[in-house]
Amino acid sequence: MKKTDIVIVGAGISGAVLAERYASIGKKVLVIEKRNHIAGNCYDFIDKNGILVSKYGAHLFHTNDKSVWRYVNRFSDWYPWEHKVKARVDEKLVPIPVNITTVNELFNLSIRNESEMQTWIDENRIAVEQPRNGEEAVLNRIGPILYEKMFKHYTKKQWDKYPDELDASVLERIPVRTNFDDRYFSDQYQALPKQGYTQLFKNMLEHPNIEVLLETDYFDVKEEYQNYEKLFYTGPIDRFFEFTGKISEKLEYRSIHFATETIDSEFYQENSVVNYPGRETPFTRIVEYKHFGNQKSEKTTIVKEYTTDIGEPYYPVPNPRNKEIYSQYKKEADQLTDIYFVGRLANYKYFNMDEAFKNALNLFDALQQDKDILKTAV
């Protein structure tokens, strides 16, 4: 049996943060990653067209948290990037989130200010004091016409569930603006790493106290690594317990199939991300990575995204059934000693990138604080 202080399963955001933090205080850290690369779903690389692309979909960093912003700046230089998304609706290209321009373009209106926009919303929305599901959440915010055009069928493609089959929280995350602001995010800090996310993670894990095992499934080698102080697991929580037989039901996850195409022209679309919310296309969006960072190439790379139930898990599916199943796994997890579940898949909760960083940093700080309290008590 091999000895190490800290075992971490997964080399994504949560795993890399915890590895870096524990290595910085002198702990020997082993990171076990089943893929052939670090950085988790943030992994990016230079493709055959000389363009920096993301293997698992575009990742846009944004935060209002100064501590997270300071932390990520320790490992990379960043350039400002205010992300904007367009949607192809009624053969028009309109901004998302819904704002004044969106409504004016789709309905041939001439709304001029926030007051007029709020009046339009109030006249079209269906007020629901406490939305019970995603459909009621959208109807409460922008009404049935935009719900049908922009959210209902996109949600079905994304989740294989209509909005009324999902928790209200899923669609309440989508902002609606009463002004002309066409930025997808409004956070104070919005940027992309100059050398890409993979280099950011390399810098985080480049410490003599950290060892990374790639192409290694933890469940194939776990008997070798039982001699540790703490283990952090960042994978799907139900997989951790599937060998125990205590809980039979599996949690639902959504995966994504990425269809990459090379286009023999300078650009394919006018924006980095174009969503396709209608039923006429099977994919949810097209990402053209050349737009990010003003990259130069004679050709361009586009990626069409198709969500599916098959493949690597990306998103938990929040609805009452899955919440109940997760609560059973959580109960089992809470009974374990020195084993911690962290991250989107292990916590069965959607985290933005900055939230994932913050969650891991907070866990490290809390465990260190508990340790200090115990020392003081002794």
DSSP letter string over 328-371?
A: HHHHHHHTSSSEEE-STTTTT----HHHHHHHHHHHHHHHHHHH
| CATH 3.40.50.720 location in the chain | 6-44+53-78+193-248+317-377
pLDDT tens, position by position, 91-122 = 999 999 999 999 999 999 999 999 999 999 99
- Poorest-pLDDT segment among 32-46, 287-301, 312-326: 312-326
Provide the pairing of β-strand 230-233 with 300-308.
Answer: unpaired
Residue of 179, 246, 203, 245 lying closest to 78 (CA atoms): 203
Q: What is the distance between the alpha carbons of residues 271 and 292, in angstroms, rounded to a whole number?
A: 10
Summarize the confidence of residues 207-231 as an average pLDDT: 97
Residue 206 has pLDDT above 60, yes or no: yes
Q: For the segment 48-76, what is each residue's pLDDT rounded down to a tens digit? A: 999 999 999 999 999 999 999 999 999 99
pLDDT at residue 376 in the model: 32
Is residue 242 very low, low, confident or very high in pLDDT (cuts 50, 70, 90)?
A: confident
Neighbours of 188 (CB within 10 A): 11
Q: What are the structure tokens assigned to 21, written together? A: 């933090």
Q: What is the mean pLDDT of residues 349-356?
A: 95
- Percentage of the chain beyond pLDDT 90 is 90
Are the C-beta atoms of residues 234 and 313 closer than 8 Å to each other?
Answer: no
pLDDT value at position 175? 85
Q: pLDDT grade, residue 174 (50/70/90)?
A: confident
CB 247 within 8 A of CB 328: yes
From the number of C-beta atoms within 10 Å of its C-beta (0-12, 13-18, 19+), residue 185 rates as buried
Let me know: does 40 contact 15? Beta carbons within 8 Å: yes
Give the separation between CA 235 and CA 341, rounded to whole angstroms: 8
Length of the chain, please? 378
pLDDT of residue 372: 52
The span from the CA of 9 to the CA of 16, in Å, is 10
* For residues 1-13, average pLDDT: 94
Helix 114-124 with 134-146: angle, nearest 10 deg: 110
Q: Are 11 and 212 in contact (CB under 8 A)?
A: yes
Report the share of the chain in percent with pLDDT over 70: 98
Q: Is 211 left (phi over 0), alpha (psi -120 to 50) or beta?
A: beta
Report whether pLDDT(149) > 60: yes
Q: Is the pLDDT confidence value at 288 over 60?
A: yes
- Give per-residue pLDDT as tens, 334-343: 999 999 999 9
Contact 340, 363 (CB under 8 A): yes
How does residue 377 score in pLDDT terms, banded at 50, 70 and 90? very low
pLDDT at 371: 65
Is the Cβ–Cβ distance between 313 and 253 less than 8 Å?
Answer: yes
DSSP string across 177-245: -SSS---S---SEEEEETT-HHHHHHHHH--TTEEEE-S--HHHHGGG--B-SEEEE-S-HHHHHTTT-
**Closest by CA position to 204, among listed 103, 75, 91, 85:** 75
* Average of per-residue pLDDT across 220-242: 95
Helix extents (H) in the chain:
13-24, 66-72, 100-107, 114-124, 134-146, 152-159, 168-172, 197-205, 218-221, 237-241, 320-334, 353-377
- Is residue 125 pLDDT above 80, yes or no? yes
CB under 8 Å to 196, separation ≥6 — which residues? 44, 45, 52
What is the value of pTM for the model shown? 0.94
pLDDT over threshold 60, residue 171: yes
Q: Over the chain, what is the mean pLDDT?
A: 95
| CATH 3.40.50.970 for domain 6-44+53-78+193-248+317-377 | no
- Residue 179 — pLDDT band, cuts 50, 70, 90? very high
Identify the CA nearest to 253 among candidates 237, 275, 276, 233.
237
pLDDT given for residue 373 in this prediction: 44
